[in-house]
Structure 1
Amino acid sequence: MTAEDISARIGLSMAGSAWAMTDRACPAPPPEPEWRGLVCEVTDPPRAALQRTMNTNFHFRVVPPPALRNSATWMRRLFDDGPNAVRGRMGRHREEVLDGSYLDHEVLYTGVPPHEVARGPQAQVVLGGRPILHPDPRKAPFLLLTPGRTAQVAAYLATADFEVLWQCARNNLMTGTACPEEHKRQVLASAHENLTVFYATAAVRGDAVVKWLETGNGVHA
């Protein structure tokens, strides 16, 4: 997926200003889901993705407000750490990483485009946030969730029922994929649990969250 592709998806994620939501409403799929070509990483769970030579990782990074800078250059440096530092933060719930199937997680929470459900915290879990353009226009923008938005996402995830989310999204997620259903469900359930703890930890501390889609060789973009 190119920077232009994710920018388009982010535009969809940011569309609308209404924050009312219905937790258990199942979004209706469009006739031609644009995520149909998503690939299931059958042997590569999210945390193992850090060890790949060629990778696509979607990072979630906690940032205390006093340290936050509204600078694309600063945000680029935020993700310049090596894999050991990333794993260390993940162990403390200060960072989370989804692999190349990150759009599956977006579908789990928001349904497939066009997103006709009410815009709410569920739309902020994965691709939500204020876009900040990367210094390199070929790369995806950074996404910033303020402490207030982060707290709203944490509150949503704390009450979200994974089984309801899975049943709503199951048909869309399994269409056009050879991925075994139980494997996909387990991967999504594990990531849902990790993201719930991650956002809860950030919310308790009053932190912001910066996200970025990393592509290329190694852990550095």
Structure 2
Amino acid sequence: MSGNLHLHAVPSSALRNSGTWLERQFLDHAVAERYRPSRYRAQVLDERYRDQERIYISARSCCAEGLPETHVVLGGRQVARSGRNTPRLLVLTAGQARHVARFLSATDFPALWASARGELLPRYGGTAAEPETREAFAGAHKALRAFYTQTAEEGYAVVKRLSA
């Protein structure tokens, strides 16, 4: 699972400010599944997640909504943990998740891609690989939009686990 970003939706009432509890959401599938009534309760992005974040950071120049782009992938309140080599855990409140869902619903992926493509394409094979690269990022955008929309509709919070 190294190099991935895991996002889980959890009921706000169940959310705990404990690194141990949050980590269990990713390790104990029996507990985690109890809070995921639909396929959108969890989302995993591959090692491109840091570059996916760049697409939303570039949104400042093409979208009027403002700051939520910084919360889509890597944003949230960090939860203190013991151990230096453990993955980072982040939490978005239900209100923040709703804000991100509104942002993603209002954004136009072609505009996001146009803003970020010059920075991203050289890392993924240049213009020759643009169709595949664009499709991979568009697919992740679509999955994130579905995840956050469903999460917001249910009033859930989001817990994130960032691998190195």
Q: Tell whether the structures are fold-level matches, with TM greater than 0.5.
A: yes
Amino acid paired to 2:108: D
**Which residue matches 1:140?**
87
Tell me if structure 1 keeps the 8 A contact 2:7–2:44: yes
Q: CA RMSD in A?
A: 2.4
Over 3 Å counting, the alpha-carbon distance change for 1:91 and 1:203 in structure 2 is: closer
Match among 128, 131, 142 for residue 193 of structure 1? 142
Indicate yes or no: 2:49 matched with 1:102: yes
SS of corresponding position for 1:133: coil
Amino acid paired to 1:205: E
Shift of 1:103: 0.9
CA deviation map 1:86-137 (0-9, x unaligned): 8xx59610010001111110011103xxxxxx96011110011001133322
Indicate yes or no: 2:118 matched with 1:171: yes
TM-score, with normalisation over the residues of structure 1?
0.64
- Judging by fraction of residues, say which structure has more helix: 2
Task: Report 1:12-161 matches (<5 A).
Answer: 55-81=2-28, 92-111=39-58, 120-161=67-108
Give structure 2 stretches of 5+ with no counterpart.
59-64
Over 3 Å counting, the alpha-carbon distance change for 1:90 and 1:56 in structure 2 is: farther
Match among 138, 153, 158 for residue 204 of structure 1? 153
CA deviation map 1:8-40 (0-9, x unaligned): xxxxxxxxxxxxxxxxxxxxxxxxxxxxxxxxx
Amino acid paired to 1:73: T
Tell me if structure 2 keeps the 8 A contact 1:94–1:198: yes
Indicate yes or no: 2:163 matched with 1:214: yes
**Which residue matches 2:61?**
none
Tell me if structure 1 keeps the 8 A contact 2:6–2:42: yes
